[in-house]
Structure 1
Amino acid sequence: MWALDTASESNYYAAIAVSMSQSPSNFFFGAFDPAGTVTLDKIPGSFWIPALFVAVFGYSTWVIVLPNALAAIGTVLLVAFTGRRLFSPTAGLIAGAVAATTPIFIAVSRSNQPETFFVLCLALTAWAAARALTTPRLRWIILSGLFIALAFQTYMLEAWALWPALGVAYLFTAQPLWRKIWHLAAAGSISLFASLWWIILVSLIPASDRPYIGSTLSNNPWEMVFGYNGLGRFSATADSSDYLSFTPPFSGDASVFRLFNEQLAGQIAWLLPAAVLSIVILWMLRFPRAVTVFLGLWLLVFGAMFSAVAGMHQFYTAALAVPVALSVGLAFGLARRRGVLWPQISLVSVAAVTAVLVSFWYPGYSTVVSWVQALIAVGVIVLLIAERTLTSFPRLAVTAAAAVALVLTPTVWSAVTIAHPSNTNPVAGGVSDSPSMGGLGTGAGGQNAQGTPPGSASGQSGAPGQGGVPGGVSGQGAGPAQGGADGALGQGAGPAGTGATSAAFVEFLEQNQGDADYLVATFGAQAASSIILATDGGSVLPIGGFNGNDAVPSLDEFIAMVDDGAVRFVMSSSAAGGQAASTGSSTSAEIRAWVEVNCETTDAAGTAIYDCAP
Structure 2
Amino acid sequence: GFNSVSILLPQALAGVLSVWLLYYLVRRHFGVIAGLLAALALALNPISILTNRNVTIDSTLTLVLLLGAWTVLKAAETGRLRWLLLTAFIVGIGFNIKTLEAYVVVPAYGLLYLLAAPHRLRKRIGHLALAGVLLLAISLSWVVAVDLTPASQRPYVGSTQDNSELSLALGYNGIQRLLGSFGGFGGGSSANRAPNGTPPSGNTGRTGTSSTPGNGGSTNTGGIGAGQQRPSGGSGGGGGAGGLFDIGTPGPLRLFTQPLAGQIAWLLPFALLGAVALAWQRRPRLQSDRKQQSLVLWGMWLLTMGIFFSVASFFHQYYFTVMAPAIAALFGIGVVTMWQDYRRGGWRGWLLPIALVATVAEQVYILSQYPTWGQRLIPPLVVLGVIAVGALLIARIAPRLHLRAPGRRFLVPALTAGVLVLLLAPTAWAAIPILTSTQADTLVAGPTQTTSFGGNVGGGQSANASSDAALIRYLEAHQGTAKYLVAVLNSKGADAIILATNKPVMTLGGFSGTDPILTTSQLAALVKSGQVKYFLINGSGGGSQSALITWITQNCKVVPSSQLQSSSTSSSSGGFGGAEQLYEYTGA
Instruction: State the TM-score, normalizing by the size of structure 1.
Output: 0.74
**Cα pair 1:105 1:321 within 8 Å, conserved:** yes
| 1:249 is the counterpart of 2:245 | yes
What's 2:8 paired with? 65
1:204 & 1:482 partners in 2: Cα distance?
A: 31
Deviation at 1:348, TM superposition (A): 2.9
In the alignment, which residue of structure 1 is the partner of 2:577? none
Number of the residue aligned with 1:31: none
In the alignment, what sits opposite 1:332? 335
Q: Is the 2:270–2:334 contact (alpha carbons within 8 Å) kept by the matching residues of 1?
A: no
Tell me which of 137, 144, 150 is aligned to 2:87. Answer: 144
Counterpart pick for 1:549 among 480, 504, 514: 514
Which whole-Å deviations, capped at 9, do the CAs of 1:374-422 have from their partners, x for residues lacking one?
3223333466679997887389756743541332221222222321335
C-alpha offsets along residues 80-138 of structure 1, whole Å, 9 cap, x if unaligned?
11111232111110111111122122223222223322222232222333323334322
Which residue, 508, 529, 532 being the options, matches 2:498?
Answer: 532
State the one-letter code of the partner of 2:585.
C
SS in 2 for 1:311: coil
Q: Does 1:232 align with 2:176?
A: yes
Please say if 1:78 is aligned against 2:21.
Answer: yes
CA distances 1:497-548 after superposition (whole Å, capped 9, x unpaired): x4x3123322322232221111111112221111111123x11110011122
Give yes or no for the alignment of 1:523 onto 2:489. yes
- Of 385, 397, 400, which residue of structure 2 is paired with 1:377? 385
CA distance in 2, matches of 1:406, 1:128: 31
Corresponding residue of 1:455: none
Q: How does 1:75-224 map to 2 (within 5 A)?
A: 75-175=18-118, 176-224=120-168
Looking at structure 2, the residues matched to 425 and 553 of structure 1 have their Cα atoms a distance apart, in angstroms, of: 33
Q: Which residue of 1 aligns with 2:436?
A: 420
Cα offset, 1:424, TM superposition: 6.7
Is 1:83–1:91's contact at 8 Å kept on the other side of the alignment?
Answer: yes
Q: 1:242 to 1:178 in 2, by over 3 A?
A: farther
Q: Which amino acid aligns with 2:541?
A: S
Shift in alpha-carbon separation, 1:187–1:397, aligned structure 2, 3 A: farther
Give, in angstroms, the shift of residue 228 of structure 1.
1.8
Relative to structure 1, the CA distance from residue 191 to residue 398 in structure 2 (aligned partners, 3 Å threshold; closer, same or farther) is: farther
Q: Distance in 2 between matches of 1:335 and 1:403?
A: 12
| Cα distance, 1:306 vs structure 2 | 0.8
State the 1:573 CA deviation.
2.1
Deviates more, 1:132-141 or 1:278-287: 132-141
Q: What CA distance in whole angstroms lies between the structure 1 residues aligned with 2:60 and 2:141?
A: 19
**Alpha carbons of structure 1 residues 198 and 262: separation in structure 2 relative to 1, 3 Å:** same
1:434 Cα deviation (Å)?
5.2
Q: Distance in 1 between matches of 2:462 and 2:59?
A: 23
Per the alignment, residue 594 of structure 1 pairs with: 551
1:403-453 deviation digits (Å, cap 9, x = unpaired): 4133222122222232133567611112354579xxxxxxxxxxxxxxxxx
- Change in Cα spacing, 1:570 to 1:174, as seen in structure 2 (3 Å) is closer
Contact persistence 1:380–1:405 (CA under 8 A) = no
**Equivalent-residue separation in structure 2 for 1:289 and 1:264 (angstroms):** 30
Q: Which amino acid aligns with 1:213?
A: V
SS of the aligned residue for 2:463 comes to coil
* 3-state SS of paired residue (1:591): helix
- The within-5 A match list for 1:283-298 is 283-286=279-282, 288-298=291-301
Deviations 1:233-277 (A, max 9, x none): 234454557999864431122222211222111111111111111
Q: Is the 8 A contact 2:527 2:533 kept in 1?
A: yes
Are the structure 2 counterparts of residues 392 and 367 from structure 1 closer, same or farther at C-alpha, using a change threshold of 3 Å?
closer
Distance 1:571 1:148 in 2: 42
Match of 1:472 in 2: none
What is the deviation of 1:141? 2.1
CA separation in 1, counterparts of 2:139 and 2:370?
41
For residue 343 of structure 1, report the CA deviation from its aligned partner.
4.2
Measure the CA separation in 2 of the matches of 1:364 and 1:104. Answer: 21
The one of 493, 518, 525 equivalent to 2:463 is 493
Secondary structure at 2:507's aligned position in 1? strand
- Are the aligned partners of 2:533 and 2:585 in contact in 1 as well (CA < 8 Å)? yes
- In the aligned structure 2, how far is the partner of 1:373 from the partner of 1:206? 60
Please say which structure displays the higher CA radius of gyration. 2
2:379 maps to 1:409: no
CA contact (8 A) 2:260 2:317 kept: yes
**Which residue of 1 is the match for residue 573 of structure 2?**
none
Q: Distance in 2 between matches of 1:400 and 1:430?
A: 28
Is residue 531 of structure 2 the alignment partner of residue 566 of structure 1? yes
| Greater relative contact order (CA < 8 Å, ≥ 6 in sequence) | 2
C-alpha deviations, 1:254-303, integer Å up to 9, x for none? 22221122211111111111111111111011263332222222222111
Paired positions, count: 497
State whether residues 488 and 494 of structure 2, in contact with CA within 8 Å, keep that contact through their aligned partners in structure 1: yes
Q: What corresponds to 1:365 in structure 2?
A: 373
Aligned residue number for residue 265 of structure 1: 261
User: In the alignment, what sits opposite 2:480?
Assistant: 514
CA drift at 1:332: 1.9
Tell me: CA distance 1:432–1:255, structure 2 relative to 1, closer, same or farther (3 Å): closer
Structure 2 contact 46–430 (Cα < 8 Å) conserved: yes
What is the Cα deviation at residue 144 of structure 1? 2.3
Q: What amino acid does structure 2 have at the position aligned with 1:227?
A: G
The question of whether the paired residues in 2 share the 8 Å contact of 1:492 and 1:530 is answered with: no
RMSD after superposition: 3.0
Where does structure 1 lack aligned partners over 5 or more consecutive residues? 1-54, 437-475, 485-489, 575-580
CA distance in 1, matches of 2:59, 2:117: 34
Q: Once the two structures are superposed, what CA deviation does each residue of 1:299-348 show, in whole Å capped at 9, x if it has no partner?
A: 22111111111122222222220110111111222344674454443433
Deviation at 1:168, TM superposition (A): 1.4
CA distance in 2, matches of 1:403, 1:150: 36
User: Distance in 1 between the 2:78 and 2:433 partners?
Assistant: 40
Aligned to 2:446: 429
Q: Letter of the 1:597 partner, please give it.
A: Q
User: Could you tell which deviates more after superposition, 278-287 or 108-117?
Assistant: 108-117
In the TM superposition, residue 211 of structure 1 has moved relative to its aligned partner by 0.6
Contact residue 256 and residue 362 of structure 2 kept, 8 A: no
Instruction: Find the residue that maps to 2:56 and give its secondary structure.
Output: coil
Runs of 5+ unmatched residues, structure 2: 191-222, 225-237, 283-288, 397-404, 570-580
